[in-house]
Structure 1
Amino acid sequence: MTLERFLPDEAATARLGQDLALALKPGDALALSGDLGAGKTTLARALVRANAGDAELEVPSPTFTLVQSYDGRVAVSHFDLYRLGGPSELDELGFDEALSEGAVVVEWPEQAGGRLPGGTVTVALLNEGEGRRAIVSGSGPAFDRVARSLAIRDFLDRAEAEAADRIPFPGDASARAYETIRSAGGPDRILMNSPRLALGPPVKDGKPYAVIAHTAQSVAAFVAIGKALRERGIAAPEVLASDLDQGFLLLEHLGTGSFLDAEGRPVAGRYAAAAELLAALHEKPWPTRLRAAPGVFHDMPPFDRGALAIETELLLDWYVPWKTGRPADADLRRQFARAWNVVFEHLDKAEAGLVLRDVQAPNFVWRDDRSGRDRIGVLDFQDALIGPLAYDVASLGMDARVTIPEDIEQATVAAYVAARHAAGGFDEAAFREAYAICAAQRNTKILGIFVRLKERDGKPGYLKHLPRIRAYVRRALAHPALAPVAALYDAHGLLAED
């Protein structure tokens, strides 16, 4: 496959380097071909700087050293093979090691013989008038990522952000990616890059996990829910431009204020304010069909028994084998399903409404310069559904990424309860029972997800959160409604510290 871009000046070449950098992953090879003076080193320098997040980084041409290596979002080794004596000299340069540890950018790739890996993406630079033409070719996952990155640039061009810089956010646990879009003289904006969800293989009753768990399959959900939140006075980001088919959104930047202090500790008053915001959302019924665009609607799915159950089973699928050294057997799975079904009977009677589903500190923005509800920006809600209202309060009170002391958890819950009582018609005892069940269900799921991120996705850093999540589960299991699950977890030592 081939893509072409005309680069009228050095700034356009630098933007192409940025677009290529954002597509790179370890193991990728990018071959830059073209005559002397075609702009290969200019393009490579822009790529290295964008990858490092440092526009002033010194990036000398490796004409004489043959290779220069750089740290960044991905480790990048820049090879110039013009003076290479033969392909065998690549061994002395550590080419294979560089490729195993990061990405490689190769000028004069024809000198490598057949040593470049399959799936190498080639960028040919040809002089054309006062500028140059870039012809990008290849096939496979790396080329697909490059093609999507170039499609993002095309989207930004259509959104009148053609000269903007793209600054990636640190990676998170989802398939979505975010970037800060920065233009000279204008406000920062946020790009959401969310390809249509790949459903995966069937896991139960002929259905994929995402279908059973009701995970949003396109950005239309984010657009529709965000619009409805703003209509209710909630500070959700305004959509400035969209491509629903490709999954690109250009969003208002709500700010960077955190719910944590400078030492990373939770600020109690901000958690309480978020609880009051949830209480305001829960005072009125939520529609089940929302409009994303003319003729495009999002139907809010239910947080039903199937979704609740399959989320808890992530503990069996990932955490149990990691914790015990052996897969969960059929007997444990039967006991697990039986215990949770007894508990879910209680949850069936809980007050239901909008569940944002991923309420935690990174998904809120604190805005000191605002007042009332506008102090809090809400960022992550595309997987929202209709279910037990206590779920989001439990997510907030037992924040998965932050250690919430019990006194702050209790103060957060108390703020919610007080706001609901003030509005009238609130059953506090039923809420507290649902809160405990939702907290246990969510943190059971998270134990499985964090191990999956380590085992399947190569992200071991998530394991550091496990002691916190186990402590949250133990807190929740203290409620009498959770006695069957508490007994099962205790019998199998699932919450014992390592």
Structure 2
Amino acid sequence: MSDVTDREAQRVAFLTEAGLADAARAPLPGDASTRRYERLTPVNGPGLMLMDQVAAAESPPADPSWSPERRKAEGWNAVARLSAGRIEAFAAVASHLRSVGLSAPAIVALDAPAGLAVLEDFGDDLFARVIEQGQDETPLYLAAIDALAELHAAPTPPMLTGAAGKWPLQVYDQTALQGGADLFVEWLPKLKPELRFDEAAVADWHAAWAPIVAQGEAGASVVAHRDYHAENLIWLPERSGPARVGMIDFQDAVRAHPSWDLHSLLQDARRDVSPALEAEALDRYFEVARVEDRAAFLRSYAGLAALNEARILGIFARLIVRDGKPRYAAFMPRMWAHLNANLTKPGLEGVARWFDKYVPAEVRA
């Protein structure tokens, strides 16, 4: 039998064991990951989701004891402290989110070694879709801010526990932050041949980001979803308060600076968020999270947003060049606009000088 046939046999056996052998199955469109989903419609009862993630399809996640050198030797997931799609991670983060009153899918059935889970189905009302259909975006974004503030106010345990056991909540540290930024200097020249970053340019790059990376690691104090944006949030208006924000794709959660999920939400790669809404959302966060030093917070917000935007530009370049996914080029101008705006903010003078020296203005658009 082929690998595809073998995997389908595993799925069928798993669903049979879960009492879902007769459920209708409809695959959902894929994304940039190795994970796939199917919508399940049982003969009786509510709709469900099948999560299918073969653990062996990716390089291993970082062990908390590994040195930076060991992480680099093990591969990208270890460098960036990604979960490598492990369902154990998803289950542990989901349990934590639910324990603090937030909405993560309940896990109905689980086979972690096989990389299979049946989840509660939150439906199709992604923030991005309901806004496209005419719903006022401001209440949605303010609800997302309230959910973040609730998460940030909760304890940040070093170990999370879910239906598949324990999973470490690791720090989004210097190795992971700088490694993410470095995707830019590695992959942009492969997309834009006019760019040339020699050893001196790369050394300057690291020096320019060093203070921002240090701020990010030193300020890592909250559970960060890490991919918190309008395509990963589902509107659940029948629930109340922060629980109206359904969260998905949080398996790569880390302990990070509280601004991380904020700029992921408000400086989105896939849709425009107006400066007025961004300002209103930040004011809401400052109020409900009781941020005392707003200037210092905004300095870190701009610095880490810029780093994240450089990281995402590198990822999009890699998806286009290596993986043959040209559709990601459509998102790059928005990321350049965010990055260019952040380079004018206090604390980013060194990074701005680097871009002025090494990246022509016509490329940064």
The answer, yes or no, to whether TM exceeds 0.5 is yes
Q: Retained in 2: the 8 A contact 1:342–1:484?
A: no
Are residues 1:211 and 2:71 paired? Answer: no
Which residue does 1:222 correspond to in 2?
Answer: 90
User: 5 Å matches for 1:45-194?
Assistant: 137=1, 143-194=2-53
Aligned partners of 1:394, 1:262: CA distance in 2, in Å?
A: 21
Q: 1:204 to 1:186 in 2, by over 3 A?
A: closer
Deviation at 1:436, TM superposition (A): 0.8
Q: Retained in 1: the 8 A contact 2:147–2:243?
A: no
Aligned partners of 2:140, 2:47: CA distance in 1, in Å?
A: 24
Which residue does 1:372 correspond to in 2?
Answer: 241
Deviation at 1:457, TM superposition (A): 1.4
Which residue does 2:158 correspond to in 1?
Answer: 288
Q: 1:426 to 1:460 in 2, by over 3 A?
A: same
Aligned partners of 1:149, 1:329: CA distance in 2, in Å?
A: 47
* 1:107-152 Cα shifts (integer Å, max 9, x gaps): xxxxxxxxxxxxxxxxxxxxxxxxxxxxxx3xxxxx2122112211
Aligned partners of 1:373, 1:391: CA distance in 2, in Å?
A: 18
Aligned partners of 1:455, 1:381: CA distance in 2, in Å?
A: 27
Q: Retained in 1: the 8 A contact 2:183–2:311?
A: yes
Aligned partners of 2:235, 2:322: CA distance in 1, in Å?
A: 33
Are residues 1:334 and 2:203 paired? Answer: yes
2:351 corresponds, among 478, 482, 485, to 485
* SS of 1:186 mapped into structure 2: coil
Deviation at 1:416, TM superposition (A): 1.0
**TM-score, length of structure 1 as denominator length:** 0.67
Q: Retained in 1: the 8 A contact 2:35–2:51?
A: yes
Q: Retained in 2: the 8 A contact 1:303–1:386?
A: yes
Which residue does 1:313 correspond to in 2?
Answer: 182
Aligned partners of 2:212, 2:120: CA distance in 1, in Å?
A: 41
Amino acid at match of 1:443: E
Q: Retained in 1: the 8 A contact 2:223–2:253?
A: yes
The structure that has the greater radius of gyration is: 1
Q: Retained in 1: the 8 A contact 2:126–2:232?
A: no
Aligned partners of 1:280, 1:413: CA distance in 2, in Å?
A: 15
Aligned partners of 2:256, 2:220: CA distance in 1, in Å?
A: 8
* SS of 2:98 mapped into structure 1: helix
2:325 corresponds, among 439, 454, 459, to 459
Which residue does 1:199 correspond to in 2?
Answer: 59
Q: Whose helix proportion is higher, 1 or 2?
A: 2
Deviation at 1:459, TM superposition (A): 1.0
Amino acid at match of 1:209: W
Deviation at 1:266, TM superposition (A): 7.6
Are residues 1:431 and 2:291 paired? Answer: no
Deviation at 1:452, TM superposition (A): 1.1
RMSD: 2.1
Deviation at 1:271, TM superposition (A): 1.0
Aligned partners of 2:360, 2:235: CA distance in 1, in Å?
A: 36
Deviation at 1:326, TM superposition (A): 5.2
Q: Retained in 2: the 8 A contact 1:171–1:177?
A: yes
Unpaired segments of 5 or more residues in structure 1? 1-136, 138-142
Deviation at 1:265, TM superposition (A): 8.9
Unpaired segments of 5 or more residues in structure 2? 61-68
* 1:73-111 Cα shifts (integer Å, max 9, x gaps): xxxxxxxxxxxxxxxxxxxxxxxxxxxxxxxxxxxxxxx
**TM-score, length of structure 2 as denominator length:** 0.90
Which residue does 2:101 correspond to in 1?
Answer: 233
Query: How many residues get paired?
Result: 352
Deviation at 1:263, TM superposition (A): 5.5
* SS of 1:361 mapped into structure 2: coil
% of aligned pairs identical?
A: 31
